[in-house]
Chain A
Amino acid sequence: MKDAVANQPANTPGETMQKDPVGGLLQVEHLRTVFRQGRREVKAVDGISFSVNPGETLAIVGESGSGKSMTAMSLLRLIPSPPGEIIDGDVFFGGRNLLDMSEDELRDVRGNEIAMIFQEPMTSLNPVLTVRQQLAEPMRVHRKVKEEDIEARCLDLLRQVRIPDPETRLDAYPHQFSGGMRQRVMIAMALACEPRLLIADEPTTALDVTVQAQILELLKDLTRQHGSSMILITHDLGVVARYADRINVMYAGRIVESGTAREIFEQPRHPYTLGLINSMPRLDASEKARLLPIEGQPPDLGNLPTGCAFHPRCPFAVDQCRQQDPPLEPYQGHHLKACWVNVDD
């Protein structure tokens, strides 16, 4: 099932996209999101296409500013507008296009069929409402849970996310919780309506390393239990290796490589992916081995270089890279890359 649906080749606008016959849970096609600052237009998400299958975890990896969070926010149309705007593309979820929906229809999807967890647990909960008030909201709005059942359901959710002593914690305020516990509350809130897709935007970046692992394990367990799919957005390849089924590597608003976790780690085909992997510390490396950073800076999205956006930082770049933008094309099966060069060679 996992490989039944592959990412569609992207970055070639105008091409007719084939809708998958099996029907991934989520299918994103040519999504484009821009931010306008005066006359400047920043392409935060630049025509990307991918899909998520039922029950799988798709990781979106990239540096800060590569457009991964903006992709996530665009899916549920949570882009602050103005200055942001989704200017093109389709997001099919269960056969319906989220980008064509009315506000009312979209509200039924948000928090219900697709839920989101954000990066900052310290600020993502409302400081003046109790955990009970915030936890109950999605159930009241989407599930019409009876008032007398709400408490039991809230307690059940807090137990699922392994918050100790849920009875006394239910009426506490967010500032009475630690960061990790707040993220657990966020997860409980996201799972309240048993969504089919969970979008976790850097869910562990703001947390201690020990807590990070707990939270990711929890996410993995709970999505498995509920049979939910997950889009895991992160800049941490270590996280990805362990928890993702498939990986999209993003650079400058585009997907530059896409494949299964095994393909990406064992046979990275894009120099950027290779750079990311080489800059990861490894326990099995010799003591003298040094980390290899990717030289240079991420590009200015308002002023991208011609050709491949990565070419100024790419050790393999050839003339073609400076002139032509490489499309995302199959390298082998469902393993896709957007690069003119064969990194092997």
Chain B
Amino acid sequence: MGSYLLKRVLALIPTLLIASVLVFSVVRLVPGDVLDLMLSENDYSASSHDTRADLEKALGLDDPIYIQYVNWLGDIVLHGDLGESLWRNTSVNQEIADRLPVTVELGVLSLLIALVIAIPVGVYSAIRQETLGDNLGRSFSIVALAVPNFWLGTMVVILPAMWWGWSPPNTIEPFFSDPIENLKVFLVPSLILGASLSAVVMRMTRTMMLEVLRQDYIRTAWAKGLRERKVVLRHAVKNAMIPVITLVGILVPILFGGTVIIEQIFRLPGIGQLLLDSVSNRDYPIITGIFLISGVMVMVVNLLVDLCYGLLDPKVRYDD
């Protein structure tokens, strides 16, 4: 197990290197230049050649791109320093550290809500196939899949504001000092994100349960005289969860994409909002920093998913 983990962590290094090259270069290929933006913003009406060159030098953008890359990577590897914002004199590390907890809480809460809804509903739907409950569960999932969460989010913000003059709070208390106030902010956006995720997970759970319930070992469990609860929870669910865990691993990056939009709608100061601002300002260091951090998170989640297989499936063993 230990050596497996080490191997997997070492394997992250080349992946991250490739990701860093892509992230660094692609961001600079986006049309529109940070210099033009800055010059127009500050109304250097006579944007003389000199001012532009000065600015470029001041921002460290005058070096060839590969030199910039090596410097950037060197700072990360040697000092863990993602650089400085081009617009503000703040470090990217600090910007991300301020915003990350918001996004992580939104993401984790959405995922929890999704699983808490999806797995019981999916299991129930499968064991009561073609009943009212099953049909309700499946209808819910189709609706949740069909309604885009940006639309739902917008409606949830706009309609109560129009009808009752209510809008969701957006001063965030840290979860551990005031969980209730904190949840007041996070619950609604998490529900919206969680609902759409839960639809996918629920359908997968249902399909897998139906598959597993047809297996010979389930018949054996019935023939032993076990109660339905035991047959389902002890013999079926664990087998059905293996592909569902894979799906959850795939959904995490999608979830991250969803937070960008939902943070914008609910004005949550998370990574997604920072990313949008930075992209429109062409604030390269922040954009690359965010991509790199989210890349690391996705890889860690995938590693966790693989480790979960080991817990669920005895045929998967990591002790070579």
Give A residues with C-beta under 8 Å from B.
76, 78, 80, 107-112, 115-116, 118, 120, 123-130, 137-138, 141-142, 173, 175, 186, 189
A116 B223 Cβ-Cβ under 8 A: yes
A175 B215 Cβ-Cβ under 8 A: no
Contacts of A80 in B (CB 8 A): 214
Contacts of A123 in B (CB 8 A): 215-217
Chosen A-B contacts, 5 in total, with CB atoms closer than 8 Å, are A76-B223, A78-B223, A118-B219, A128-B239, A137-B226
Give B residues with C-beta under 8 Å from A.
214-217, 219-227, 230, 234-235, 238-239, 312-315
Contacts of A110 in B (CB 8 A): 222-225
B235 nearest in chain A by CB position: A126
Contacts of B222 in A (CB 8 A): 78, 110
A186 B220 Cβ-Cβ under 8 A: yes
Give CA–CA (A176, B215) in the complex, Å.
19
- A107-B225, A173-B314 known; A124 and B219 CB under 8 Å? yes
- A78-B219, A123-B215, A123-B216 known; A128 and B312 CB under 8 Å? yes
The CB with the most chain A CB atoms within 10 A, among B219, B220, B234, B312, is that of B220
Binding site secondary structure of chain B = helix
The CB with the most chain B CB atoms within 10 A, among A109, A116, A127, is that of A127
A127 B239 Cβ-Cβ under 8 A: yes
Give CA–CA (A112, B219) in the complex, Å.
15
Contacts of A128 in B (CB 8 A): 238-239, 312-314
Contacts of A173 in B (CB 8 A): 314-315
B224 A141 Cβ-Cβ under 8 A: yes
Give CA–CA (A15, B223) in the complex, Å.
32
Separation in Å of the B210 CB from the closest CB of chain A? Answer: 12
Contacts of A175 in B (CB 8 A): 314-315
Contacts of A118 in B (CB 8 A): 216, 219-220, 223
A109 B215 Cβ-Cβ under 8 A: no
Contacts of B312 in A (CB 8 A): 128
A125 B220 Cβ-Cβ under 8 A: yes
Give CA–CA (A129, B226) in the complex, Å.
15
Give CA–CA (A109, B239) in the complex, Å.
27
B224 A189 Cβ-Cβ under 8 A: yes
Contacts of B238 in A (CB 8 A): 128-129
Give CA–CA (A137, B223) in the complex, Å.
11
A119 nearest in chain B by CB position: B216
Separation in Å of the A245 CB from the closest CB of chain B? Answer: 24
A175 nearest in chain B by CB position: B315
Contacts of B223 in A (CB 8 A): 76, 78, 110-111, 115-116, 118
Known A127-B217, A142-B225; further 8 A-B contacts with Cβ < 8 A: A112-B225, A118-B216, A123-B217, A124-B220, A127-B239, A128-B312, A173-B314, A175-B314
Contacts of A115 in B (CB 8 A): 223-224
Separation in Å of the A133 CB from the closest CB of chain B? Answer: 8
Give CA–CA (A32, B238) in the complex, Å.
36
Contacts of A120 in B (CB 8 A): 216
- A78-B222, A110-B222, A175-B314 known; A125 and B227 CB under 8 Å? no
Give CA–CA (A246, B127) in the complex, Å.
40
A107 B315 Cβ-Cβ under 8 A: no
Contacts of B230 in A (CB 8 A): 137, 141
Give CA–CA (A129, B312) in the complex, Å.
10
Contacts of A78 in B (CB 8 A): 219, 222-223
Give CA–CA (A120, B226) in the complex, Å.
20
Give CA–CA (A118, B226) in the complex, Å.
17
Give CA–CA (A216, B235) in the complex, Å.
28
Separation in Å of the B141 CB from the closest CB of chain A? Answer: 23
B315 A127 Cβ-Cβ under 8 A: yes
Contacts of B214 in A (CB 8 A): 80
- A129-B235, A173-B314, A175-B314 known; A124 and B224 CB under 8 Å? no
The CB with the most chain B CB atoms within 10 A, among A109, A126, A173, A186, is that of A126
B312 nearest in chain A by CB position: A128
The CB with the most chain B CB atoms within 10 A, among A128, A130, A175, is that of A128
Which 10 residue pairs of A and B lie closest in terms of their CB atoms, listed nearest first?
A110-B225, A111-B224, A111-B225, A123-B216, A173-B314, A126-B217, A116-B223, A124-B216, A107-B225, A124-B220
Separation in Å of the A191 CB from the closest CB of chain B? Answer: 12
A108 B225 Cβ-Cβ under 8 A: yes
Give CA–CA (A202, B224) in the complex, Å.
18
A107 B221 Cβ-Cβ under 8 A: no
Contacts of A189 in B (CB 8 A): 220, 224
Contacts of A116 in B (CB 8 A): 220, 223
Separation in Å of the B178 CB from the closest CB of chain A? Answer: 42
B224 A138 Cβ-Cβ under 8 A: yes
